[in-house]
Amino acid sequence: MATERTLSIIKPDATRRNLTGKVVDRLETAGLRVVAQKRLWLSQKQAEAFYAVHKERPFFGDLVKFMTSGPVVVQVLEGANAVAKNREVMGATDPKKAAPGTIRKDFAESIEANSVHGSDSPENAANEIKFFFSDTEIVG
């Protein structure tokens, strides 16, 4: 299995409820290694740029408002098939549709305040990791 890296974001609804450690525990228990991590408060410009792919979607404005409503924790996760593994541990975008035992099923408040983000492909992971981290900040 290929060792990969993926970008994870612990979103403002989770940091507000002091769930950072619980989310990290789920990730580590699943075999993912946190090889970079920092806590940030995204600016509107950063949130708009990070989610630019969604800018025509009706929820874009609300998404940017939510993602700038409090601190986030951005992380690089490393492991075998890390992109798919992280998506499995996160569960479906909509917590109502997420499988039992997933982060979103157990912690998310809504489809918007859904506690975590994870890259959806290795190509996007590489770009999203570069968005937040320089090479020297990632220590595997």
Contacts with ligand CMP by CB under 6 A lie at 54, 59, 63, 93, 111-112, 114, 117
Report the nearest approach of ligand CMP to the CB of residue 111 (Å): 5
Measured from the CB atom, the residue of 69 and 93 that comes closer to ligand CMP is 93
Catalytic residues: 117
DSSP state of 109: -
Report the nearest approach of ligand CMP to the CB of residue 59 (Å): 4
Measured from the CB atom, the residue of 89 and 135 that comes closer to ligand CMP is 89
Cα–Cα distance for residue pair 107/119, rounded to 1 Å = 19
Amino acid at 24: V
Contacts of 94 (CB under 8 A, 6+ apart): 104, 111, 114
Report the nearest approach of ligand CMP to the CB of residue 79 (Å): 19
- Which residues are 73's β-sheet partners? 10, 39
Measured from the CB atom, the residue of 10 and 24 that comes closer to ligand CMP is 10
Cα–Cα distance for residue pair 31/51, rounded to 1 Å = 27
